[in-house]
Amino acid sequence: EYTMDVFFRQTWTDERLKFGGPAEILSLNNLMVSKIWTPDTFFRNGKKSIAHNMTTPNKLFRIMQNGTILYTMRLTINADCPMRLVNFPMDGHACPLKFGSYAYPKSEIIYTWKKGPLYSVEVPEESSSLLQYDLIGQTVSSETIKSNTGEYVIMTVYFHLQRKMGYFMIQIYTPCIMTVILSQVSFWINKESVPARTVFGITTVLTMTTLSISARHSLPKVSYATAMDWFIAVCFAFVFSALIEFAAVNYFTNLQTQKAKRR
């Protein structure tokens, strides 16, 4: 799931509200909104929505002479975002925000994008970079769904997010790579230096175990392996194989020594 702060704008025409006079635009108080028909728009994949009321209700309601109405409100929306984390942490996601009419079918109300599919959704540049993600773009679509009560128009905005790699490079990838390199140093240590090679082997195995546990805390609990899981598994295999290699060399060295003594 994700949370976003939006200025939600809706425009429609109500011929009953046409007026004449010198004023081209009539700005109404928020208290008048309840006395005028407004679309019953709701967010289909929203878990929770909050309308801001500090210091006054954050709403704007204007009527043009031809009966066109502009209704804007500030909302904080918590919505579902299905994620497939197979490529974590090099993954990207398209988080949808779906909205439409709750009660009015397609025969009574139709939603369209006012500025077309390219310019109807605007994201400020300062909001395109988040702590863990970069917003690389957004796309919009509309569809009609059928239900027991009729056909409804559903509008969808997809926010395309790409996860940032910096944290994981510093905390996981670089330490794992350095640990693997350190484990290979034991190959250049004299095979007779058993304590030194033992320290290298056990230390690197314990370090990889600690890094693996730390990495799991950064992951949502999923039932499949991610790219980070495979990376850590391969690193662990290299480190563990270095320890096995030391044990094998030590075993065969002792075996040759015993054979030499028997001769």
Q: Does the pLDDT at position 131 exceed 90?
A: no
d(CA 174, CA 182): 12
d(CA 246, CA 10): 71
The pLDDT tens digits for 30-65 are 888 888 999 999 999 999 999 998 888 899 999 999
Which is it for the CA torsion 250, 253, 259, 262, positive or negative?
A: negative
CATH code at 166-262: 1.20.58.390
- Residue given tokens 């994008």 in the structure block: 113
Q: Are 238 and 186 in contact (CB under 8 A)?
A: no
The pLDDT tens digits for 58-107 are 999 999 999 999 999 999 999 999 999 999 999 999 999 999 999 999 99
- Residue given tokens 């204007």 in the structure block: 62
Q: Which two tokens stand for residue 157?
A: 């905005």
User: What is the structure's pLDDT at 87?
Assistant: 92
The pLDDT tens digits for 215-226 are 888 777 888 899
Q: Does the pLDDT at position 189 exceed 80?
A: no
Confidence of residue 110 (pLDDT cuts 50, 70, 90): very high
Q: Are 33 and 49 in contact (CB under 8 A)?
A: no
Q: Which residues fall within 8 angstroms of residue 250, CB to CB, at 6 or more apart?
A: 191, 194, 197
Q: What is the mean pLDDT of residues 153-177?
A: 93
**DSSP 8-state secondary structure symbol assigned to residue 88:** T
| CA-based nearest residue to 235, from 198, 217, 263, 209 | 209
The pLDDT tens digits for 227-243 are 999 999 999 999 988 88
User: What is the structure's pLDDT at 141?
Assistant: 94
Q: Does the pLDDT at position 194 exceed 80?
A: no
- Residue given tokens 């030194």 in the structure block: 196
d(CA 46, CA 80): 6
User: What is the structure's pLDDT at 195?
Assistant: 79
pTM of the model: 0.84
Q: Domain 2-163 sits in which CATH superfamily?
A: Neurotransmitter-gated ion-channel ligand-binding domain (2.70.170.10)
Q: Are 57 and 51 in contact (CB under 8 A)?
A: yes
Type of residue at 199 = V
**Per-domain residue ranges for the chain?**
2-163, 166-262
Any alpha helices (H) in the chain, and if so which ranges? 116-119, 166-168, 174-184, 194-217, 227-262
* Percent of the chain whose predicted confidence (pLDDT) is above 90: 57
User: What is the structure's pLDDT at 245?
Assistant: 85
